[in-house]
Amino acid sequence: MKALLLENIHANGVRLLTERGFEVETVKGALSEDDLIAALRGVDVLGIRSNTQLTPRVLAEADRLQAVGAFCIGTNQIALDEATKHGVAVFNAPYSNTRSVVELAIGEIISLARHLTDHNAKMHAGEWVKSAVGSHEIRGRTLGLVGYGNIGSQLSVVAESLGMRVLFYDLVDRLALGNAERCDSLEELLSKAETISLHVDGRPDNRGFFGAEQFAQMRPRSLFLNLSRGFVVDTTALKAALDAGHIAGAAVDVFETEPKRNGQQFENPLRGTPNVILTPHVAGSTEEAQQNIGSFVAGKLADYVDSGSTVLSVNLPPVQAQRGSERRITHLHRNVPGVLASINTVLAGYGTNIVGQTLATKGQVGYVVLDIAGDLDPAAVDALRAMPETIRVEVH
C-alpha cells in the first residue's frame, strides 16, 4: 500500500503509517492540480493540509485512491461530493488542535486590548512611550463568539475563567457551557459584545457573510478576530472599519488568498494597519497540535484501509465493526432499497459464509461491512462490483 503525504505532515503520521505497512512518500509543500494527478498514480492513501486543492478532476484521475486524510480541521479544500462518488473516504482532525487555536485567540485578545503590537513596534524603533491610554484588562469585558462548536465552546470556558462575560451565536442549538449566554441573532451579539471572534466552518454559504453591514453593527472601539476561514470576511470592509476607528483592533490568521509555500510574498490590505495582528494560518500550528493531528488522522487512514472503519469520516456513513474474521468485505453503494438483500443473494450464490454484517447509511450512500468465514471466491467480489448500485468494493 502506498501513501503520499503533502505539506509537511508531522513525523508521527509518517511513522504510524510506516509501522502499519505503508510505503510512505512525503512532499514539503502543496502540489498543483496537474502535479497532484501525476503524483497520485498508484497511491492508496493521500494526506494533505489546507493548501492542497483536491478537485473533481484530481479525484476522477486517481486510479487507486481509497482514502484522504485532511491533517487539519477544515475539508473545504476537498470536493467531498466527488470523493463520495468515487468511493474515497475522507477523514480530518476536528479536535486535535482545538486547544492551540483557543490559546492563540486568548493571547491575541489580551495583546489587542493592551496594544502590545504597537508598543512592541515603537520599542524596536527606539521610541519609549509609557502610557495607559487605550489599554484595558479583559476581565469584566464581553466576548462574543460567532460559532459555538469545538473551538468556540472551549474558548468560551477559558475566557470565562479569565473573568470575561461570554455571549455566543450559532445556527445550531448548542449547549451553553459555564455561564455563557446564547444570543437569538447575530445582530444581538454584535450590539452587546466588545470583542467578536469568528469560529465558523468552511461551507460555501459562509462566504462573505461578515462585511461592512456587520462591522457597522459592532460596538464602537470593539476588537475583531478571525481564526476560522479567510473567505467569510470582507477584508476591505474590515480595513475601512479599522481606518475609521470604529474597530479598535483586529487579529486575522486566515485569508481568502494565501501563499502556497513558505517564503512567497504575502499581499493583503491589512498590512501595515496599526493594532492589527496578522499571522500566517498558524492558529492550530503548535508542536503539540501537529503531533496529535499526525497520529490521529494517520490512524484513521490505516484503520480504514485495514478494517474498513469509517468512524469520524467526513463523507461516509460511520461504521466501527470489530474485526471478527480473517476476511472482510466493505461495500459502498447508492442508498436505495434492496441493496443489502442483493449483496446477501450474491454472496450466497457463491457459497460465502457471512459471520458478521453491519450496515449504515448517510444521505445518498450506504456502507456495509461483512465478515466472512472460510474461502472467498474472487468471482463473488467481481459480482458485487458489477451490481448497479455499487460505488466501491474492497476486501480487507
- Report d(CA 81, CA 153) in Å as an integer: 29
Query: CA nearest 236: which of 255, 258, 221, 260?
Result: 255
Cell of 309: 472503519
6 CB-near residues (< 8 Å, 6+ apart): 26, 27, 29, 30, 31, 46, 47, 48, 49, 52
Residues in the chain: 396
Query: CA nearest 230: which of 191, 278, 295?
Result: 278
Cell of 217: 453593527
E-assigned strand segments in 257-352: 276-278, 327-334
| Residue 229 appears among annotated catalytic residues | yes
Query: CA nearest 238: which of 270, 191, 206, 196?
Result: 270
> Helix (H, G, I), strand (E, B), or coil: what is residue 41?
coil
Annotated active-site residue in 199, 281, 331, 392: 281
**Distance (Å) of CA 171 to CA 147, 194, 297, 312:** 8, 21, 28, 22
Q: What share of the chain is helix, strand, coil (3-state, %, to 5)?
A: 35, 20, 45
Annotated active-site residue in 33, 258, 389, 394: 258
Strands 195-198 and 142-146: parallel
Task: Measure CA 11 to chain center.
Answer: 20
Annotated active-site residue in 229, 331, 333, 392: 229
Q: Are 354 and 302 in contact (CB under 8 A)?
A: no
The b/e string for 213-239 (b: 16+ C-beta within 10 A; e otherwise) is: ebbeebbeebbbbbbbbbbbbbbebbb
- Report d(CA 382, CA 92) in Å as an integer: 31
The H or E element containing residue 313 is none
**Which residues participate in catalysis according to the annotation?**
229, 258, 281
